[in-house]
Structure 1
């Protein structure tokens, strides 16, 4: 049975989250070391973010990235060459499909923050960081009841705030790969690196189109997607993916979610009996800060030998590419190669 992670982290995770050698992949960081254009060129820029207008008169210089059990925001900034703008980052995944990305994240400053009981930056610490832009995966990160600085409080000290796509109402069940592109484009606009953002989006779209074209018409295997060694509910399998960006990635890779109808929200809380009775042709395990995700995947296949996935030893272990973020094309390729090796 997966071990229980702190509830706040599990909830935040529920609300979020191949090789890079293929030509046209969107995974790499741009070579330019200077991220933004001149301090005022192209400004002002205004975004309507979750019903709150955010006006920028120059590129942010002191960016704080909240935890949110995600790496979507920090990976997006790094992919755009904006790492030097981050003064405090709380996001980490421990691994990445993008070579060097996990190490790059680890090297970022944390601001010396002591996280609160909600496993993120408390109000006073946030204000003490003197940010000019704060990024949160969902609206959860700006709620006073959670011990966080609100968007109004941040505005009072001159800081802009941004909630990532599908995070406004904290329901990510409708999230798709297009939301990853929206995040890239929004940050491109804010920092006036729109050409760079569009280049990454187009590369990802092209990469995914090439993969999807090769598996089009193939039978779509039933895939179980879940987080390794994580509990979000009371049953044996409470971190099973039901809806969200994961399903869009599966569809583009020529597969379908075996548990898509198990819940109306992003995750299903399932008994061992229900999992055992399902037809599972392949397994995708997402390792959220878990170095033993591969071992967990093999254990599952051994536990359910009746699955076709177990008979064929068909599984993949992924990390940040399955989340909102700039490298979804890598997940599409990796899963497609597992499901349809002859087509690719």
Structure 2
């Protein structure tokens, strides 16, 4: 018996150790789940966005982002402003210039994915899938239209990629776009990449700058401004790239101006004859350079062509690029236009 006792004691001791280990294992499991949950909350994930009726869930920050062309620089500029350039594996957006020092060069340095654009001037389906993206950004829903040879949002999801359409782009009608949509794009990207603090700081700075400028000119008369893209044809008339509605009007209003051609079209752009343009009083010009190396020359040409305009008599014009469009730099456009329209207010 005396010889068996130590064995029995050892067995009991062993069972006790096992019981304790199981209890500790159970507690550790609970602690691990709590830690994972806390880590998830701290990391900001998962993030869920309802985007144009499509639910997109992000469990981590995307690392292979493809930016579609969309005749825009809104998305790529927003990513750059948030310091996310290293997440981009293919970018198709460029204006060739920017109001932000260094941004145009930074965009040029981004990888393009060596993509050959299709007839719809963007990334075709097979090329898109070959890039193995985990996030695709498009200015409007057009970028996911199968009829145009693009990968659909469903096809991208099947390939493991999230997709995103920028604000006001769901129905491809940007006529209701405002500066607030630029902030929404910034805010959404802040959430997706877990840099919301930086996004909110950029938004707050922009709002502060715009408010300061608007306060300076709020009592001034609102000149009639013609906004158009230089050397660009969008229709059949002589002036087919004249802005009628959209974010441009919001920028003009905050700069103390109004759009001379706001009622010329129900859509974002008006397709106008030379006679219509000549018959309209234009107090000032805002010329947007889209990959045009010298929009200033185009502005001077217009002022010479229509000497009856008050804009021509007073040489009132300003050239801009990305700050006039959806994106992170609308405050720069507001400031530049306001100082051109109301120099005595500053």
Q: TM-score, normalised by structure 1?
A: 0.88
Partner of 1:138: 140
Q: SS where residue 68 of structure 1 aligns? A: coil
The aligned residue for residue 296 of structure 2 is: 294
1:134-175 C-alpha deviation (Å, 9 max, x unpaired): 000000000000000000000001100000000000000000
2:84 aligns with one of 82, 95, 105: 82
The answer for the alignment partner of 2:32 in structure 1 is none
- Whole-Å Cα distance in 1 between the matches of residues 335 and 40 of structure 2? 37
SS at match of 1:60: coil
Find the counterpart in structure 1 of residue 308 from structure 2: 306
Is the 8 Å Cα contact of residues 40 and 58 (structure 1) preserved in structure 2? no
Structure with bigger RCO (C-alpha 8 Å, 6+ apart)? 1
**Distance in 1 of aligned mates of 2:324 and 2:40:** 34
CA distance in 2, matches of 1:270, 1:101: 33
Larger radius of gyration: 2
Q: Check the 8 A contact 1:44/1:55 in 2, yes or no.
A: yes
Which residue of structure 2 lines up, in the alignment, with residue 48 of structure 1? 50
Are 1:40 and 1:57, in contact at CA under 8 Å, matched by a contact in 2? Answer: no
Q: Quote the Cα distance in structure 2 between the aligned partners of 1:307 and 1:103.
A: 36
Structure 2 residue matching 1:285: 3-state secondary structure:
strand
1:98 paired residue number: 100
**Structure 1 position 161 matched with structure 2 position 163:** yes
C-alpha displacement at 1:41, in angstroms? 1.7
- What are the Cα deviations for residues 250-284 of structure 1, in whole angstroms up to 9, with x where unaligned? 00000000000000000000000000000100000
Q: CA deviation at 1:292?
A: 2.1
CA contact (8 A) 2:278 2:306 kept: yes
1:40 deviation in Å? Answer: 8.4
Cα distance in 2 for residues equivalent to 1:50 and 1:180:
16
* Match in the other structure for 2:176: 174
Aligned length: 308
The secondary structure found in structure 1 opposite 2:318 is strand
Give a deviation string over 1:34-63, Cα, whole Å, max 9, x none.
xxx999822110000000000000000000
The corresponding residue for 1:33 is: none
| Cross-structure match for 1:234 | 236
The CA RMSD measured in Å over matched residues stands at 1.2
2:343 is paired with a residue whose SS is coil
Give 2:214's aligned residue.
212
Paired with 2:187 and 2:73, the residues of 1 have a C-alpha distance of: 17
Runs of 4+ in structure 1 off by over 2 angstroms are 37-40
Of residues 243, 246, 257, the one that matches 2:259 is 257
Query: 1:248, 1:43 → 2: CA distance?
Result: 34
Q: TM (normalized to structure 2)?
A: 0.88
Gaps of 5+ in 1: 1-36
Residue 17 of structure 2: aligned partner: none
